[in-house]
Structure 1
Amino acid sequence: MARRTKAEAAATREALIDAAEEMFMEHGVARTSLEQIARHAGMTRGAVYWHFKNKADLFHAMLERVHMPFQNLFDEVDDSVADNCPLEAIRQACIKGFARAEQPRNKRVHFILMYRCEFFSDIDPQAMQEEISQDINSVLLKYFQLAAENRQLASLSPEAATDLFYATLTGLFNGWLRHPELYSLEARGTQMVENLLHLLRNA
């Protein structure tokens, strides 16, 4: 019985996060109340407070369901590739990231963070975006530094290569997030990453 109760509680929590995600997408985070989320999930507001301290806690739980540290994508690349061919590791990790970003839930949550969330109370979307940005930059820099040590990077410094690559990824992702119907992120992203790495690679 206890095991069933625990499973039911987990299912209730997931249902509330699902409802919050849908309400945030439709109305925006600031304009969505816990009461609306509870009603949308077919539950009471008390059920929300049983699982979450407040709306910020619920919002962060929604983000945690999809957030993956950038390094995790590189951890899925073969170790020999990551160690000996860091530029190829960047290519493979980015392609994995594009495919993951195109999953419906990932796309919705990132859209909410970028375009449906204002700063208020305990929710600071700019700080969250900056944390993601720093994570991506630090990992890219590590692999571009390794490429430079292996004499695989052309004339740019690892720092300059990181800035250029990150700017490309950011522009590509934000453009796709606003208009995902225009192109496949994975298809266009793969082409852009391969073209850019070709320019950055030491001949």
Structure 2
Amino acid sequence: MARKTREDALKTRDALLHAAEWLFQEKGVSHTSLDDIARAAGCTRGAVYWHFRNKVDLFSALVDRVQLPLFDQAEQVATRCADPIGALHHFCINAVRDIEENPQSRNLLDILFNRCEFVAELAEVERRQRERTRFFIDRHTAAFRRGHALGLIHADLDPATCARMLHSMILGMVRTWLMEPAAFPLTQEATEALNQLLRGFGYPPPTAP
């Protein structure tokens, strides 16, 4: 019986996250209440509070579900790959492909970029997103720094500047694509843009299989 209870609890939590994802995208985060989410999930308000302290906690769980798996990958690229630039290339393309092909990832970014006002209620979410942006730029900087030491990019390049250029380019392409997904194939164009950027840095991008 205890196992069934745990399974039911997980199903309820998933239902709440699914409902929140849909409502946040439809109505925006600020205009969605916990009552709205509970009704959409077929749950009581008490069930929401069983799993989440408040709307910010629920929203944070929604973000974590997509973003947390990327942390270990970014750390491995920065510190443990023999070719850190090639590994960074694959990391970025795989992340972009996931956004294009995985509705959960795409919806989350659409919510963060287009359906979320970082007002007082969501100050904690904004703080965490700033920290995560700094983390990824820092890890990309570490990858470029190792690549620089290995002679994989031009000697006169600043690794931190390379990391910010990479981050800004990928983020800009994703935000543009989210505005009109039918306008261009995201993974294909992001791959070409990344290849051109890395060529400018002196690194020959991997040959497609």
TM-score by length of 1: 0.89
RMSD of Structure 2 on Structure 1 (CA)? 2.1
Distance 1:72 1:194 in 2: 24
What number of residue pairs does the alignment pair up? 200
Instruction: Identify if the C-alpha distance between structure 1 residues 16 and 66 changes in structure 2 by more than 3 Å, giving closer, same or farther.
Output: same
Instruction: Identify if the C-alpha distance between structure 1 residues 191 and 73 changes in structure 2 by more than 3 Å, giving closer, same or farther.
Output: farther
Instruction: Identify if the C-alpha distance between structure 1 residues 132 and 176 changes in structure 2 by more than 3 Å, giving closer, same or farther.
Output: farther
The corresponding residue for 2:60 is 60
The corresponding residue for 2:47 is 47
TM-score by length of 2: 0.87
CA shift for structure 1 position 193? 0.8
CA shift for structure 1 position 74? 4.7
The corresponding residue for 1:96 is 94
Moved over 4 A (4+): 74-77
Q: Which moved more, 1:98-107 or 1:68-77?
A: 68-77
Unaligned residue ranges in structure 1 (runs of 5+): none
Distance 1:144 1:14 in 2: 38
* Residues 71 and 139 in structure 1, CA contact (< 8 A), matched pair in contact too: no
Q: Aligned ranges for residues 38-187 of structure 1 at < 5 Å? A: 38-68=38-68, 70-74=70-74, 82-83=81-82, 85-102=83-100, 103-124=102-123, 125-154=125-154, 155-187=156-188
* Residues 35 and 45 in structure 1, CA contact (< 8 A), matched pair in contact too: yes
Distance 1:131 1:185 in 2: 26
What does the per-residue CA deviation read over 1:125-145, in whole Å, with 9 as the maximum and x for residues that have no partner?
532332232122111100110
Distance 1:70 1:198 in 2: 25
| Percent of aligned pairs sharing the same letter | 34
The corresponding residue for 2:196 is 195
What does the per-residue CA deviation read over 1:137-174, in whole Å, with 9 as the maximum and x for residues that have no partner?
11110011011111221132212222222221221121
Distance 1:76 1:96 in 2: 14
Unaligned residue ranges in structure 2 (runs of 5+): 205-209
Distance 1:72 1:175 in 2: 27
